[in-house]
Amino acid sequence: MSFKVKIKNDGEFVFNEPIRVYELSRDSSEKIIAGLFNDQLVDLRSTICEDGEFEFITIDHELAPQVYRHTMSHIMAQAVMNIYGKDNIRLGIGPTIENGFYYDFEILNGKIAEEDLPKIEEEMRKIIDQDIKIERIEMSKDEAISLMKQRGQIYKVELLQDLQEKTVTLFKQGDFVDLCRGPHLPSTGMVKHFKLLSISGAYWRGDEKRPMLQRIYGTAFANREQLEKYLNFLEEAKKRDHRKLGPALGIFFIDFDVAPGMPIFTPNGTTILRELMEFSRQLHREFGYEEVMTPLVMSEKLWRMSGHWDHYKENMYFTSKEEQQFAIKPMNCPGHILIYKNRTVSYKDLPLRFFEFGRVHRYERSGVLHGLFRVRSFTQDDAHIFCRADQIEQEIAGVINFVHRIYSPFGFEYSAELSTMPENHMGDVQTWQKATEALRCAMDSVGLKYVVKEGEGAFYGPKIDFHIRDSIGRTWQCATIQLDFLMPQRFELVYTDIDGNYCQPVMIHRAIYGSLERFLGILIEHYAGAFPTWLAPVQVMIIPIADRHHSYAQSVKSVLVQNGIRAEVDLRRETLGYKIRDAQSMKIPYMFIVGDKEQTAGTVSVRIRKGSEFSGKSLESVLDIILKEIKTRSLKNLMEE
């Protein structure tokens, strides 16, 4: 039976028997490392025997990193076995990840330390220099199980036993053999630019009840320039790490002995959070939302009715009192539903928009806790819109506009994703299709560009996710809009239409910051701790040169505070240079230096965080500039313009 293959930039060809991918090539001058057949990466050594479209993947193709990084993970695994002994190593998994790869190992005798990474890199270079041919082997599942048992690779045996396929693929380079789907490079010498980054613990298959393995992370690129650029990026990201900057700047800390995963905010951190909330509140009022407050602890009956009991129970905290079971809320939506049910609603009342800075608690495994980015206690800028079906498009459009208004003052660019029905979902397929199409129409109506993420919606409805891009190019998922026809049905929510009939409203779940704590962590890294003046915990540090200037410094502070500016006076008996350096290390936007000349003239000398200086400025003129900077939420220091 013949089949057709359309090769990109080369025409369509008919074949009467299976053909190896590499045999499709008409040009051997390019470094072809894999193929893309019907939008799936395929190994050069695999066969094609069906109709489809094919594209060659060369080393500079956008999909090439998936191939050469996967090969690099195998090279690393072979190097580890060479160093520590193949009978001493049990292999886990070694996939590619964004910008890199990792491999999990169990060392039967000994342990891999961080200082061992250069030694492993050296062994990897030897394997690369040997340019070992990489073979693709097909065998039956039973044969593969037998082979892995002989080699003592119990984790590979477990993976094989879970597979449904009767035939599996393995890849071999020298005496190293690994279970893998591929694709891989033709040989080990085709990519040379790599770096091992770190080592950590990882439970086998992410299960805390299973053995703890050692995971080595690395990265690889097609050329040295790309590798060096990425390593420089990692260094910059390391300098901005909010887990170090946050405590150093006196913003937050986490006490893992008494409250693991639950950040504690100092006055500085609370000031920033308060500013974020006030900014959000102003916009909520402008967009017609009503602020509400709901209990932290509510009966399990509520969570059973909402569906969280069935779909989210493992992530919830519980308590019992007076023979009743209660849950600490992981979400705010059921509380807002209770507010809706507590009133009689007419079609004229809709839409109703409730929002809350709601504290929620979710159990996260200790191994995944990560500063402010992954916590167990956090505050959501949560809102729920109850509307008629004919109001969906305009309400979604309004939320999209809200997102833009929130993100703009921080200098964030953003992109959007539409996530559709997951495998674990409530409700019927028809309802999901209706909800998904409503979101799609709303996004199209406002011209919002987006990509579709199949199967990644919430369990109760499809959603739009927004990803912001920070100052060094990283993206973070923050805002989300979720359309829900199911929760109103479960809670029997109704409104009366123009004819007095009962109708079911539509519910829109919405958060913009997402989590205030996580958003703050992103801001710390985005600004490297140097917050714009409107967000800075201390906006002006007044530094008297000598003790005789203390009184004047305090009078300057009084004027600033009366005008709503957060100011402090440094009265310590330290040198002027020391005080200035300390204020700069704390990333305070403005320093006012006051001495004899300033005290006599009633002026201040201004030093900007970046080092610019302005002598003999009247307090009134500087005050006007700072107030304008705060009012406009400027990202720039206006004195330098």
- Catalytically active residues, by annotation: 333, 362, 380, 382, 384, 463, 509
How many angstroms from the chain centroid is the CA of residue 10? Answer: 40
Residue 209 DSSP symbol: T
Residue 246 half-sphere exposure toward CB, CA atoms < 13 A: 27
Residue where the block lists tokens 């080092």: 611
Token representation of residue 466 = 């927004």
How far apart, in whole angstroms, are the C-alpha atoms of residue 445 and residue 464? 14
What are the strands of the beta sheet with 3-7, ordered from one edge? 11-15, 3-7, 52-58, 32-37, 40-42
Do 418 and 451 meet the contact criterion of CB atoms below 8 Å apart? Answer: yes
The one-letter amino acid at 253 = F
Beta-carbon contacts of 487 under 8 Å, excluding residues fewer than 6 positions away, are 306, 307, 333, 337, 460, 493, 507
How far apart, in whole angstroms, are the C-alpha atoms of residue 223 and residue 161? 39
Phi, psi of 344 (to 5 degrees): -90, 125
How far apart, in whole angstroms, are the C-alpha atoms of residue 609 and residue 588? 6
Q: Is 4 helix (H, G, I), strand (E, B) or coil?
A: strand
How far apart, in whole angstroms, are the C-alpha atoms of residue 42 and residue 35? 5
Of 376, 380, 364, residue with least CA distance to 255: 376
CB atoms within 10 A of CB 153: 21
Q: Say how many residues make up the chain.
A: 641
How far apart, in whole angstroms, are the C-alpha atoms of residue 547 and residue 595? 10
How far apart, in whole angstroms, are the C-alpha atoms of residue 515 and residue 70? 34
How far apart, in whole angstroms, are the C-alpha atoms of residue 176 and residue 188? 12
Of 249, 281, 285, residue with least CA distance to 267: 249
- 390-429 b/e (C-beta count within 10 Å ≥ 16 → b): ebbbebbbbbbebbebbbeebebebebbbbbbeeebbbee
Q: Cα–Cα–Cα angle for 28, 31, 34, nearest 5°?
A: 100
CB atoms within 10 A of CB 214: 18
How far apart, in whole angstroms, are the C-alpha atoms of residue 283 and residue 407? 12
How many angstroms from the chain centroid is the CA of residue 181? Answer: 28
Alpha helices (H) in 163-295, listed in sequence order: 224-239, 242-248, 267-286
DSSP string, 240-255: T-HHHHHHHTTSEE--
Do 437 and 553 meet the contact criterion of CB atoms below 8 Å apart? Answer: no
Do 187 and 133 meet the contact criterion of CB atoms below 8 Å apart? Answer: yes
Q: Is 293 helix (H, G, I), strand (E, B) or coil?
A: coil
Token representation of residue 458 = 């919430």
Count Cβ atoms within 10 A of the Cβ of residue 454 and give its class: 0-12 exposed, 13-18 middle, 19 or more buried. Answer: exposed
